[in-house]
Chain A
Amino acid sequence: MVFSVLLYTSLAIFIIGIVYKVSTWFSRKVGISSRNTKTSGRVFAGLKGIAGVIFGPKILDLLKAFLLDVILQRRILKEDFLRWLMHMLIYGGFMLLLLMHALDRFITAKLFSEYYSTLNPFMFLRDLFGLMVVVGVVIAIYRRAILRVPRMRTNAMDRYAIIIMAVVMLSGIFLEGIKITSHSEFQRMVENFSDTDDEEELKALESYWVQNFAVVSPDVKGPFSEEVLENGFELHDMSCAACHSRPQWAFTGYAVAKAVSPVAVALDRMGSVSFLWYVHILACFFGLAYLPFSKMFHVIATPVSLLAKAVMEPGTSDPLNVATRQAMELDACMHCGTCSLRCSASTAFEALGNEFILPGEKMVFLKRLVAGKTLSPEELKAIQEGIYVCTNCDRCTVVCPAGINLRDLWINVREDLIQRAVPVPCVLSPYSFVRGLNREKLQPYDYPRPVEGAKEAASKDFQNLMDRSRPLHFKGNGSSTLEKLPDAETFAYCFGCQNCTTVCPVVGCYENPEEKLGLLPHQIMCCLGLGLVDMATGPRMLWDCVTCYQCQEHCPQKVKVADLLYRLKNLAVKNLRSS
């Protein structure tokens, strides 16, 4: 009764959870490209797309992906053998346990008329599958806690997944082990299945089970005489043997049984068997009910993602389906850290200390953002930088074991985040190169705004400083403001020949360069000579510098003009980052 109530409650929560989660794939809007999509349109487009695949030639691609990517998990194997082994052990063991053990009444018993959970091969296989999961979980803990795969972060969800699996497995193994030793279980079985009431005979049977089936009895203890055991065997053969293989075959439970045998009688009296049974089924039911809301939901979302990847083509798929796929992909990410491990920008994370630079952490954040989280100003700044400090090398997309198209996800979400009215200093760097290449795709949005906003923010005080009615406060070489530019003192050799400005191709592009660029290269060097560092960090010349180093190459005084412009850019960015 309790069992059924718990089972159907958790199953109901599970099903409602799955329906809810899948519905969010069609309703949630990721980034900028899904802003104007409607749920109904996306559901319709999705159904149309699925029908098109099932009744079209792409069904072959789908089946191939199902076999190679979903069942055999080729993408994980390509990345790391140990991880593939871990995942195959957990997922293979768990699926087999689910089908053979948890659903035995519906599946195993229907397929095999001779099925008994305590008979071989079923008993042995159950322990084998259980051991597979345990070994997989041990590898998972090893990877996260001991091996310390670089940049792999372990969050609460990862811990939950490992813990729920460990509790289910260990409670199952201990339940089995203690049940083997349990004298009360033995008595219960005797009452139900033996054909005799004869005390002597029952004692012989008990002796036989203590001797051969690891039961720990408070009444009988070995060594037993040959005769008693022979009598016991006769009764065993008649009443028990048809349903019981030797417990050694349940090798994990048997090991537990042997280990606890000195205290088995006490454990049995304390009601350990029913306690562990509750722990085991409650853990299973909790895991089931919570699955749609936990990391374990990837067991559903990740195969869907892999299949979507197999049949969706970049550029030709319906934009509505792309929007749905991106919402789904957030659930398909199981925070495995492969993308963060292979990320080209990972050293930027190490130097700048912003966790959101790691793609795996961006995904965790995006899940919360898309679910409706509001951002604090600090979080917005951090995620804007994190999403922009990306070299667009596409490695994350290539290696993602879940087949998530991270490239398109970044482009889409990046645009949304940098269009918010907060200046993002890192747009003023070659990280903008790929955004520039994609500008035609971004034209409906305000393409120039993020860059213009950052340039304006960087030169906020510049116009004031340049006000000709204001006296200049010279600070001179060696002043404290210059300490912001350590080992950059080559400007001191400038004698104002203006060669740098003359050879600058950027200056040469304008009729009236000072108006466009604020200060020209030689003027910036002059500023530095006068200690006017704040003024030197303001002109647009810094951001319009094409970094061709003509100025530096042609300086007769070996002033490192281009390097100094870089140092000033760094300083301006630092000021913006900390403001």
Chain B
Amino acid sequence: MKYALFLGCNIPARVSQYETSSRAVLKRLDIEPVDIREFNCCGYPLKNLDRKAFVLSAASNMALAEKAGLDLLVLCKCGYGTFKEAEYLLKEHGELKREINRSLHDSGLNYEGRVQVKHLLSVLYHDVGIAALKSKISRSFKNLKIATHYGCHALRPSAVTRFDDPVAPTVFDELVRVTGAKSVDWATKLECCGAPLMGINDELSVTLTTRKLEDGRRSGADFLCTACPYCQIQFDTVQKMMILHKGNGGPLGAVLYSQLLGLSMGMDAEALGISMNRIDISNVTSFLSEET
């Protein structure tokens, strides 16, 4: 399987371990990620400013993937949501699509709507499949309790994103269980991490993050698990920077799903960039068993 790998802006600059671990896992699953150098911003930050600008940014990337004849594999949930929304708008509004294609034309691009946009978790769950994943697990986790953080922009609006059931999603939990870890129930599982307000209303952003962290701790989780650079930064960098020193209990580290899966596939913690997380999560390896 081949996909155009869309890294977005945050991952190369601030969460490079997500890229490293995802590439390692994809390679193990015989998935070839194709890099397209001309990819630009997905359009997510432009959503607040100007609709045409955001749709044009998203469409430009989708058109590039389409030109390469590949589907888009997105690692970021905000990027995924933005693409799905642009896809939806372009399908619904013929005039917008014509306008966007006029702008794309100058760069030699055209968006037809053939390309499929998929998040990493969807690719693993639907395209690879749970059974195939299981066969690659060489040492599963024992007694590891994980709180899955779904991420708003993949889940909602469900009519547009079509990621999973918006009220009772299971994709992420099943993927976590593949590794042998237990996926715990927690009340704020489907709530926002707070990242969209970072820089706009830091206090509110941190309040939302703190609530989730407290709830995660209450549920007995050893780690939060994310599959989005924004959520990961919020639970890792922001937790370390703005929450821990205020005496909000001990840290609840966040592990990227690609790191969790990689470890259970027998990969080395260093190769998965475990040490690059701001909050030390190196003890996650102590939950690994020798059984498959």
B156: CB under 8 A from chain A?
A: yes
Q: Write out the residue numbers on chain A whose beta carbons fall within 8 Å of the beta carbon of B237.
A: 437
Judge if A552 is at the interface, Cβ distance under 8 Å.
Answer: yes
- Partner among B49, B152, B198, B241 whose Cβ is within 8 Å of the Cβ of A573: B49
Which of A352, A431, A505, A563 sits near B45, CB closer than 8 Å? A431
Residues of A near B103 (CB, < 8 A) are 350-351
Q: What's the Cα separation between A417 and B78 when bound, in Å?
A: 28
Interface size on A, residues (CB 8 A): 55
Q: CB distance B49 to A425 under 8 Å?
A: yes
Query: B143 at interface (Cβ–Cβ under 8 A)?
Result: no
Cβ of B148 under 8 Å from chain A: no
Q: How far is B14's CA from A505's CA once the two chains are assembled, in angstroms?
A: 27
Hey, which chain A residues are within 8 Å of B166, CB to CB? 553
What's the Cα separation between A344 and B36 when bound, in Å? 13
Tell yes or no: A393 within 8 A of B by CB: yes
Measured CB to CB, the nearest residue on chain A to B107 is A150
- The number of residue pairs between A and B whose CB atoms lie closer than 8 Å in the complex comes to 166
**Residues 162-179 of chain B, each 1 if its beta carbon lies under 8 Å from chain A, else 0:** 000010000000000000
- The 8 A CB mask of A36-51 against B (1 = contact, 0 = none) is 0000000000000000
For A351, the chain B residues whose CB sits under 8 A away are 46, 50, 52-53, 56-57, 103
**A95-103, A234-242, A463-471, A540-548 - interface stretch:** A540-548
Of B20-28, B120-128, B201-209, B264-272, the stretch lying at the interface with chain A is: B201-209
Chain B interface, >50% SS class: helix
Question: Is A59 an interface residue, CB under 8 A from the partner?
Answer: no
Is there an interface contact between B40 and A509, defined as CB atoms closer than 8 Å? no
Q: Does A347 contact B (CB under 8 A)?
A: yes
A440 at the interface (CB under 8 A from B): yes
A544 touches B197 (CB 8 A): yes
Contact partners of B208 in chain A: CB under 8 A = 505-506, 509, 546
With A505-B192, A544-B197 given, is the CB distance from A430 to B204 under 8 Å? no
CB-CB < 8 A to B50: which residues of A?
A: 351-352, 570, 573-574
B interface, size bucket: 35 or more
A residues 514-547 with Cβ under 8 Å of B?
543-544, 546-547
Q: Does B2 sit within 8 A of A, measured CB to CB? A: no
A125 CB within 8 Å of chain B? no
Contacts of A393 in B (CB 8 A): 8-10, 12-13, 41
Contact B48 A430 (CB under 8 A): yes
Check if B156 sits within 8 Å of A553, measured CB to CB: yes
Assuming the A-B contacts A344-B40, A352-B53, A394-B13, are A549 and B204 also in contact, with contact meaning beta carbons closer than 8 angstroms in the complex?
no
Choice from A395, A426, A434, A563 contacting B12 with Cβ under 8 Å: A395
- B192–A348 touching, CB < 8 Å: no
Confirm or deny: B97 has a beta carbon within 8 angstroms of a beta carbon on chain A: no
Does B195 sit within 8 A of A, measured CB to CB?
yes
Q: Does B114 contact A (CB under 8 A)?
A: no
In the complex, the answer to whether B199 meets A430 with C-beta atoms within 8 Å is yes
The reply to whether A346 and B199 contact each other, CB–CB distance below 8 Å, is: no
List residues of chain B with CB within 8 A of the CB of A487.
Answer: 93
Contact, CB under 8 Å: A567 / B51: yes
A-B contact pairs, 9 of them (CB 8 A): A343-B40, A344-B40, A351-B46, A430-B200, A436-B198, A549-B156, A552-B157, A570-B49, A574-B50
Q: Report, nearest first, the 8 A-B pairs whose CB atoms are least far apart.
A: A432-B199, A436-B199, A351-B53, A393-B9, A549-B156, A429-B48, A391-B9, A548-B192
Query: What would 17 more interface pairs be, CB under 8 Å, given A345-B40, A393-B12?
Result: A150-B107, A344-B40, A351-B50, A352-B50, A394-B13, A395-B12, A427-B199, A428-B48, A429-B46, A429-B48, A429-B200, A437-B14, A437-B233, A439-B202, A451-B201, A546-B196, A573-B48
